[in-house]
């Protein structure tokens, strides 16, 4: 049973435009969400996180939005750059319940076309 | 600070053999995690240490798997009697305290033939 779902395996965006990556979750105990970026032959790299007490968190070109009622979050990258081409993983945890191991989605491969 | 390192980066073994992987976390990080990633999937949690204590193990961690973290420093993950289904990328991550944005190593890719 997939508790964290990334329903789009891939996404292509032109350089300079907005990339929107989506993630849905089913476990209502999740209260902390993270996005990781992964290049081939490297481990995942942390990008940005959001706690369930917020609905938005911004860091430079990256913004994460959380809709708790819909159990949905999204990562916006503006403007998209060719170096952003990678696999993006959404992850979740029930931090307040003391459950720290992360549950990951299957990832979305982003291709930014110059 | 050179980040999380893992050794070896690649391992090819025959079914039935034992393999051991090593992870060296970032030096001041007291939490160490092992994850497994198969093709087309996200990383899946295997086990986690706080200092030298193994605090949680996933149901994915069968009896053939064992992990240690002596003295709360590096960690080893051993797989006994490997099976073809064990072929995957084994990722290690470390973090400080309750921080969840773990820093991942490059992974060890295991191929069981």
- In angstroms and rounded to an integer, the radius of gyration of the C-alpha atoms of chain B is 13
Chain B partners within 8 Å of A44 (Cβ): 43, 91, 104
Least confident of A4-8, B71-75, B107-111: B71-75
Q: CA angle A31-A88-B74, nearest 5°?
A: 75
Would you say residue B1 has pLDDT above 60?
no
Instruction: Note whether A89 contacts B43, CB cutoff 8 Å.
Output: yes
Q: Does A4 touch chain B (CB under 8 A)?
A: yes
Least confident of A21-30, A80-89, B1-10, B16-25: B1-10
Confidence of residue B96 (pLDDT cuts 50, 70, 90): confident
pLDDT in tens, A43-80: 999 999 999 999 999 999 999 999 999 999 999 999 99
DSSP assignment, residue B102? P
* Best B38, B42, B50, B103 residue to mutate vs chain A (most A CBs within 10 Å): B42
Q: What is the pLDDT of residue A62?
A: 98
In angstroms, rounded to a whole number, what is the distance separating the alpha carbons of residues B44 and B70? 23
In angstroms, rounded to a whole number, what is the distance separating the alpha carbons of residues A90 and A29? 16
Chain A partners within 8 Å of B31 (Cβ): 100
Instruction: Count CB pairs under 8 A between chains A and B.
Output: 53
In angstroms, rounded to a whole number, what is the distance separating the alpha carbons of residues A55 and A67? 6
Residue of A nearest to B9 (CA): A41
pLDDT in tens, A69-113: 999 999 999 999 999 999 999 999 987 766 678 899 999 999 999
Confidence of residue B23 (pLDDT cuts 50, 70, 90): very high
Q: What is the pLDDT of residue B80?
A: 97
Question: Is residue A27 within 8 Å of residue A94, measured between CB atoms?
Answer: yes
In angstroms, rounded to a whole number, what is the distance separating the alpha carbons of residues B26 and B16? 33
């Amino acid at each position: 049973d997939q508790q964290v779902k990334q329903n789009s395996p891939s996404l292509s965006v032109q350089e300079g435009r907005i990339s929107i990556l989506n993630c849905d979750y089913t476990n209502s105990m999740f209260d902390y969400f993270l996005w990781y970026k992964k290049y081939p032959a490297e481990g995942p790299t942390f990008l940005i996180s959001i706690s369930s007490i917020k609905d938005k968190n911004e860091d430079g070109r990256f913004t994460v939005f959380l809709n708790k009622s819909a159990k949905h979050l999204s990562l916006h990258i503006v403007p998209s750059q060719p170096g952003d081409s990678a696999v993006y993983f959404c992850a979740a945890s029930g931090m307040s319940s003391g459950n720290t191991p992360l549950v990951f989605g299957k990832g979305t491969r982003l291709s930014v076309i110059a | 600070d050179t980040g999380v390192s893992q050794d070896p980066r690649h391992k090819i073994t025959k079914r039935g053999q034992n393999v051991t992987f090593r992870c060296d976390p970032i030096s001041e990080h007291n939490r160490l995690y092992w994850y497994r990633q198969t093709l087309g999937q996200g990383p899946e949690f295997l086990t986690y240490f706080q200092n030298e204590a193994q605090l949680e193990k996933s149901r994915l961690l069968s009896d053939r798997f064992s992990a240690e973290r002596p003295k709360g420093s590096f960690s080893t993950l051993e797989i006994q009697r490997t099976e073809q289904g064990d072929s995957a990328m084994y990722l290690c991550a470390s973090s400080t305290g309750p921080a969840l944005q773990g820093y991942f190593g490059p992974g060890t890719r295991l191929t069981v033939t």
